[in-house]
Structure 1
Amino acid sequence: MPKVKTKSSAKKRFKLTGSGKIRRKHAYKSHILTKKETKRKRNLTKMGEVHESDMGRVKDMLRI
């Protein structure tokens, strides 16, 4: 049986922590930044965690 490959898009977007949680980047930080407040842009830079309801889908994409 062949190896099961990880989705390339998922491995670029998600990181696995030591405790097993999955980290993600926030959306809305790529363009049209002039109308967004500095505080909002700063908070979007920080990493977030994948929600529990999406965890199964992300783990399936990462083949965990």
Structure 2
Amino acid sequence: MDVSVDQSLCQGAAQCVRSAPQIFDQDDDGLVVLLRQPGSPAERAAAHVAAVLCPAGVITSGGPA
């Protein structure tokens, strides 16, 4: 699974950080930062949930494969 983010559209809601803190963080402006690609099945599932929960739709993932 390849996860990507479009920081230019981020609204800073932090749903990604709440659902997958090992994958996402926020910068000093409160915008999403992709820390690393998910590795384990649990991390891939968490990244997929983060993508679904993102109100701005800035996270894309290939699903919880």
How does the TM-score come out when normalised to structure 2?
A: 0.25
Bigger proportion of residues as helix: 1
